[in-house]
Structure 1
Amino acid sequence: MSPVEESWQSKAARAQQSVIDSIPLKWRLPPGTAATREKNARQVILSSNLLTKKQIEITELTATQLLESIHHGNLSCVEAMEAFLIRTAIAHQLVNCLVEFMPEEALARAAVLDAEYKKSGKVVGPLHGLPMSVKDILDVEGKIVTFAAVAWVDCAPSKTDASVVKVMRDAGAVFIARTTMPQTGMALETVSNLWGRTLNAHNPAFGSGGSSGGEAVLTALRGTPASPLSTDIGGSIRAPAAFNGLYAMRPTSERCPHLGGKTAAPGNVSVKVSAGPACWSMTDLKLFVHQILTHPTIPHEPTCCIPYWNEVPAPSGRLRVGVMVTDGVVDPHPPIQRAIRETTAKLKAAGHDVFEFKPPFDLWEAALTTWALYFQTGAREVLELLASAGEPPIKQFELNLKIFKTKELTVAELFKRNVEQGAYKIAFQQAWDAVAGGMDCIVCPCAPMAGVPHDAPLWWGYTTWLNLLDYPSIIMPVKDLVINPAQDPKDLSYQPRDNPFDKANHELYDPEMWQGHPVTLQLVGRPYRDEGLISVCEVIDSIVNVPADVV
């Protein structure tokens, strides 16, 4: 008689409980403690009395500030590690952002680093002692990657680190946790049958974004100083960062190491994944992008181009900035349109040349090409993976498969879609070059809404077209813009376009619902010139987000 097969619900409950069990009792919140709109997760963390005043100060540092303090001997790795571990533990209890918590391993490694520093007076690398989490899509030696699929929860542990994980470990980072992602990775909200739903840092009625939702919300709540190992094939770095109010970057994917990233369909390379950070400052962003794109300890990585870094000084003259208010498919909500208007006004007032830019092709048609290339076999591998454990697909994934009429492509159809992708790249390059005087960057929305309500039908088009083209882009908060009904009323006269997303996006908007939520914008640069985009964004950030004490 064969044993009774364990249900997916039982496996999920077991997995979720294992994370809770790994949190020491002294770091537990009182039963029933939850974040609310009135008292969000950050406020609960600061009032929990589980962190000392000094630990709060440590965890409020940016990655660069924390590293400076550790490397100058002002703060031990163990002291920093314990502060971030406590904050990570509290964050998970409020927003459900972890698939594995590793406090004992992290503290032991921190102690080794402290001993080595005391003995030699030298750090092991540029990230010596930095607490770091890893998304549940990347191999970590000795850990099980689940891909948010019930079928993989009891798989054998990884034997090696993914390339980008190795790069960070070699640089001295200490891994403290692994973080949630949505089922299949193909959703801009982080929810799965296996791990449950990951909540937003600002409002639990919203999702954390996806697919790097656990990474972004953990950073937003300062459980880690940054999330350098987010990944993106359709917006998965940028949307979570945007929805949680962070800086982030999707670098040119051809410059990023790819070995050790898990997927149900590893043979699909038409639209490639990128790896990049979500963080609190442009300084941190540059630090981690440099580390990923130069990958110094694996210089002959076979999955990307030869590593390089062409340092580009901040532009001193007039910038040429194209502005795309809408993609012509789904108009962004009023707060995002206001962010673009106010950013445009600040750039013009600073003497920069700002003008309207329109892509040279229909972005709905480009989306059809992108989704066909995402699922060249009709998503057969992913659906078979879910079916093997008896679990249903999540709503956003199922909806997008239906909307984009996902089907298995013939070889001739695949060739046709690849030709379309090449034509889009040529057309966009020519359009960029055709702008008189050239263009330094494009400013556009990251998404049509500032945050994603649970299970909402979200248009990915503001991010996916850049994956199709492989153009790098940066997410930048507009820090002094606060959504409110007086300045961001709903346009009651708006006539939605005839497509599956625009009407739903318009009808969903309620300024009261989004009140107080952060707003970000996306800046786009030329492929392979990631350093130049960072330099341009540093200038724009200094104009748009002027510190309060600077006149």
Structure 2
Amino acid sequence: MTIEQERPAWQDLAQQFQADRDRSIAQVEPAIPVLPETLPSRVIDIPRQHLTPLELAITESRPEALVESLAAGKLTATSVIKAFLRRAAIAQRLTNCIYELLPDRAILQARKLDDYFAKHGKPSGPLHGLPISVKAHVGVEGHNNAAGFVGWLGRKSKEDANVVKILLQAGAVIYARTTEPQGLMALETRSNITGTTTNPHNTATSAGGSSGGESALIALHGSPLGIGSDIVGGSIRSPAANCGLYGLKPSTGRLPLIGISAYAIGCETILGVIGPMSSTLGGIDLFMKTVLGSKPWLNDPLLHPIPWRDHESHIHHNGKELTVGVMWSDGIVTPAPAVTRGLKEVVERLKLVSDIEVIEWKPFQQKEALEILTKLYTPDGGEAFRAHLELSGEPYTPLTAWTVRDAPGIEKLSFQGVWDWTFKREVFRYTYLQEWNSVAPEMDVILCPAYPTPAPLHDTSRYWGYTSIWNLLDYPGVVFPVTKIDTVRDAKDTTYIPQNEFDSWCYESYDPQKQRDVPISLQLVAKRLEEEKLLQALKEIKQKIGLPFVDCLA
């Protein structure tokens, strides 16, 4: 008998895992109601039809407000976690966003927190009782950590990831693990383990990737705050943008990665990061302050010893508190009319604010950046990825096939080739900074699209240039909601002539009728390690022009 004959079929391994996941959801009490087999394309409102008024009030509270209510004893940790477990179970039925729930662990932890509060009359920490969801490759002790590969099923984390330990110490409750794509390497969340995660605004569109389980769950108010990761050049920002959320990709070395699983761990050509995703900007701020407030660098040599610095805006020589550079296009792919409209509306309002200066920022060497990224994302030509698929015999999913095998420019580099392209990366970083300093030294942040279109249709997310450029530069980026697509005002420009293969792909993939109801989001970027300045800039912009212009989660 051959090894192939002895090995279980990958489909059987996936079905076994899905059965385990379904059992974790079945443990939720009270059990969720039976939902219709046939659902509308827009499912964002459905949980509101099946939860109690108290559950709705809890799950639709801002994370900052939840923390305050829990700290004041107005809510118990047990009542809060039970409400979010029920809403997460419904979200799974609607969008396939849950990798597994952790009801036993979560409720036990919540009861301990309630006992602490009853005994001491105060919260156990800054996040006392706050439910937090985590992307599946963030290690949870004793649980599967397959990083999107069927052949990795059965590998279990020996302990919680460092970031999970920090959150638990702060009083948070970890209760849900969310879906991720095959090998984590796609801007859409689809794997042979869990299938495809859909966007609750319009299930014909992508929830994004690689943290699409988080974005779908948070958009459905099944989580107030979650941990995503940004590995393939947009994996926090893509899903946050698609689902109308806030998502922060920090610079490397600010948040702990110990206990995070990925097939390319050890390859340092383009480093991944973890970061928060939330329905509010306050949730992002809360996460960063809490994690960095624990001084994680004291036991992790990979981290910069930089505490959270509440930024004070600088007054420039022109009397402006904030200077925003606007990048309308990256020069490779022209944004769809919906994205351009959203950007125009923001810029028009910014220009009316007396203490904000708006300037133009032209894309810089974007073609060269994409070439470097293509070489450094898969310096082995995709061999390791293929080998991990062969462990189970599972096939490539459409987008991972493109990302690690079929995209133009992918090749196996020699050692010298890795050195050469890594050196080009460093030269590019240096040159880009000199361009910023010489052309626009007063510029604090860059405002630009997060993706060429709003939430794209499934299996079409091939272009990551608007997000991956900032991974190459190691600049922090935050995505935020602006408005929603309008099928009339955002109609396709039938006179436009695409300029290249990527431009043509994105142009042909845009269909405002099929993408109806989805949010329009944008991206704000700052220089390396300026996360505090970045969030402060977004706070000022939000406050002064009234973002988002419509409630993208309504």
TM-score by length of 1: 0.94
1:46 to 45, 48, 51: 48
Residue 216 of structure 2 is matched in structure 1 by 217
Q: Secondary structure at the match of 2:351?
A: helix
Residue 516 of structure 2 is matched in structure 1 by 515
Asked if 2 retains the 8 angstrom alpha-carbon contact of 1:234 and 1:460, the reply is: yes
Deviation at 1:132, TM superposition (A): 1.3
Deviation at 1:548, TM superposition (A): 8.7
1:127-176 alpha-carbon deviations (Å, 9 max, x no partner): 11111111111211111101121111122x21122221222122111111
Asked if 2 retains the 8 angstrom alpha-carbon contact of 1:334 and 1:489, the reply is: yes
Q: Secondary structure at the match of 1:255?
A: coil
Residue 345 of structure 1 is matched in structure 2 by 348
1:294-318 alpha-carbon deviations (Å, 9 max, x no partner): 4435623122211322221356744
1:19-70 alpha-carbon deviations (Å, 9 max, x no partner): 1222237423426435422xx222221112xx21111011000111101000
Asked if 1 retains the 8 angstrom alpha-carbon contact of 2:210 and 2:232, the reply is: no
Q: Quick one: which amino acid aligns to residue 134 of structure 1? A: V
Please list, as runs of the form range in 1=range in 2, the aligned pairs for 1:34-433 lying within 5 A after superposition: 34-37=38-41, 40-48=42-50, 51-155=51-155, 157-296=156-295, 299-314=298-313, 317-351=320-354, 352-361=356-365, 363-400=366-403, 401-433=405-437
1:68-108 alpha-carbon deviations (Å, 9 max, x no partner): 00000100000111111100111011111111111122111
Flag the 1:52–1:66 CA change in 2: closer, same or farther, 3 A. same
Distance 2:548 2:481 in 1: 13
Asked if 1 retains the 8 angstrom alpha-carbon contact of 2:229 and 2:272, the reply is: no
Deviation at 1:412, TM superposition (A): 1.4
Deviation at 1:380, TM superposition (A): 1.5
Residue 28 of structure 1 is matched in structure 2 by 32
Deviation at 1:356, TM superposition (A): 1.3
Asked if 1 retains the 8 angstrom alpha-carbon contact of 2:188 and 2:461, the reply is: no
Q: Secondary structure at the match of 1:204?
A: strand
Q: Quick one: which amino acid aligns to residue 463 of structure 1? A: T
Q: Quick one: which amino acid aligns to residue 322 of structure 2? A: L
Distance 2:136 2:368 in 1: 32
In structure 1, list runs of 5 or more residues that go unmatched: none
In structure 2, list runs of 5 or more residues that go unmatched: none
Deviation at 1:395, TM superposition (A): 0.5
Q: Secondary structure at the match of 2:58?
A: helix
Flag the 1:29–1:7 CA change in 2: closer, same or farther, 3 A. farther
Distance 1:402 1:197 in 2: 21
Asked if 2 retains the 8 angstrom alpha-carbon contact of 1:91 and 1:221, the reply is: yes
Deviation at 1:525, TM superposition (A): 0.5
Q: Does 1:474 align with 2:478?
A: yes
Deviation at 1:405, TM superposition (A): 3.3
Distance 1:202 1:448 in 2: 18
Asked if 2 retains the 8 angstrom alpha-carbon contact of 1:452 and 1:458, the reply is: no
Comparing 349-358 with 222-231, which one deviates more in the overlay?
A: 222-231
Deviation at 1:436, TM superposition (A): 4.6
Flag the 1:31–1:519 CA change in 2: closer, same or farther, 3 A. closer
1:464-516 alpha-carbon deviations (Å, 9 max, x no partner): 010010000111111xx3322321121111110123x2112111222212222
Q: Quick one: which amino acid aligns to residue 324 of structure 1? A: M
Distance 1:229 1:405 in 2: 28
Q: Quick one: which amino acid aligns to residue 46 of structure 1? A: R
Q: Quick one: which amino acid aligns to residue 163 of structure 2? A: V
Distance 1:214 1:337 in 2: 27
Residue 529 of structure 1 is matched in structure 2 by 530
Deviation at 1:371, TM superposition (A): 2.0
Comparing 505-514 with 315-324, which one deviates more in the overlay?
A: 315-324
Comparing 189-198 with 252-261, which one deviates more in the overlay?
A: 252-261
Q: Count how many residue pairs are aligned between Structure 1 and Structure 2.
A: 540
Distance 1:68 1:146 in 2: 36
2:491 to 489, 492, 497: 489
Residue 505 of structure 1 is matched in structure 2 by 506
Asked if 1 retains the 8 angstrom alpha-carbon contact of 2:454 and 2:485, the reply is: no
Deviation at 1:183, TM superposition (A): 0.2
Asked if 2 retains the 8 angstrom alpha-carbon contact of 1:375 and 1:406, the reply is: yes
Asked if 2 retains the 8 angstrom alpha-carbon contact of 1:233 and 1:272, the reply is: no
Flag the 1:231–1:299 CA change in 2: closer, same or farther, 3 A. farther
Distance 1:23 1:457 in 2: 30
Asked if 1 retains the 8 angstrom alpha-carbon contact of 2:124 and 2:170, the reply is: yes
Counting aligned pairs with the same residue, the percent is 35
TM-score by length of 2: 0.94
Asked if 1 retains the 8 angstrom alpha-carbon contact of 2:202 and 2:517, the reply is: no
Asked if 2 retains the 8 angstrom alpha-carbon contact of 1:87 and 1:223, the reply is: yes
Distance 2:228 2:350 in 1: 31
Distance 1:547 1:530 in 2: 21
Flag the 1:290–1:229 CA change in 2: closer, same or farther, 3 A. farther
Asked if 2 retains the 8 angstrom alpha-carbon contact of 1:8 and 1:390, the reply is: yes
Q: Quick one: which amino acid aligns to residue 541 of structure 1? A: K
Asked if 1 retains the 8 angstrom alpha-carbon contact of 2:134 and 2:177, the reply is: yes
Q: Quick one: which amino acid aligns to residue 287 of structure 1? A: L
Distance 1:108 1:307 in 2: 34
Residue 543 of structure 1 is matched in structure 2 by 544
Deviation at 1:233, TM superposition (A): 4.4
1:381-417 alpha-carbon deviations (Å, 9 max, x no partner): 1110101100011101112331233222111111111
Q: Secondary structure at the match of 2:395?
A: coil
Asked if 2 retains the 8 angstrom alpha-carbon contact of 1:241 and 1:247, the reply is: yes
Asked if 1 retains the 8 angstrom alpha-carbon contact of 2:331 and 2:363, the reply is: no
Distance 1:468 1:547 in 2: 29
Distance 1:279 1:247 in 2: 5
Flag the 1:297–1:414 CA change in 2: closer, same or farther, 3 A. closer
Flag the 1:166–1:307 CA change in 2: closer, same or farther, 3 A. farther
